[in-house]
């Protein structure tokens, strides 16, 4: 069970309790297990050895691959677990929406831990209140 599930339960519990301020805070916080250091390291991998910029652009606003800075997600809901899973698996032709594919890990040699960091960075890009 991923922690995305637990995070969802946390928000659900807070909302059911009507504690709006806390629910808001939970929504704005980094996902559980994600630290600001991971986001910072992920940016480095995104720009460098992760090869992500080759297809998503230096600003991650898209080139061959889609814009990763908006709230629109072609695959999954854009939550942290979805992003980790997507980057690990890539996008094979049979599930590509654009006819362009993404190799697993973007074709890079990033480790699982580095993929989690790069996913944390990608997650932060579409949350303007949470840049870096």
Q: Which residues bind ligand HEC (CB under 6 A)?
A: 46, 50-52, 54-56, 64-66, 68, 73-76, 83, 86-87, 91, 96-98, 100-102, 105-108, 118, 122
Closest distance to ligand HEC from the beta carbon of 37 (Å):
17
> What does the alpha-carbon distance between residue 34 and residue 2 come to, in Å, rounded to a whole number?
13
For 35, counting Cβ atoms within 10 Å of its Cβ (0-12 exposed, 13-18 middle, 19+ buried), the class is exposed
Q: Which of 23, 43 has the CB closer to ligand HEC? A: 43
Q: Which of 14, 114 has the CB closer to ligand HEC? A: 114
Closest distance to ligand HEC from the beta carbon of 14 (Å):
27
> What does the alpha-carbon distance between residue 17 and residue 64 come to, in Å, rounded to a whole number?
44
Closest distance to ligand HEC from the beta carbon of 85 (Å):
9
Those residues whose C-beta lies under 8 Å from the C-beta of residue 9, and which sit 6 or more positions away, are: none
Q: Which of 8, 103 has the CB closer to ligand HEC? A: 103
Residue 28 near residue 103, CB atoms below 8 Å: no
């Amino acid at each position: 069970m991923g922690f995305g599930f637990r995070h969802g339960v946390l928000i659900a519990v807070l909302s059911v309790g009507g504690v709006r301020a806390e629910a808001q805070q939970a929504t704005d916080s980094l996902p559980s297990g994600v630290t600001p250091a991971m986001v910072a390291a992920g940016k480095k991998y995104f720009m460098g050895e992760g090869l992500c910029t080759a297809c998503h652009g230096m600003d991650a606003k898209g080139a061959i691959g889609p814009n990763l800075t908006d709230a629109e997600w072609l695959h999954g809901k854009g939550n942290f677990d979805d992003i980790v899973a997507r980057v690990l698996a890539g996008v094979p032709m049979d599930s590509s929406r654009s006819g362009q594919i993404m190799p697993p890990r973007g074709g890079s040699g990033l480790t699982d831990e580095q993929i989690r960091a790069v996913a944390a960075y990608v997650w932060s890009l579409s949350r303007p209140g949470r840049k870096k």
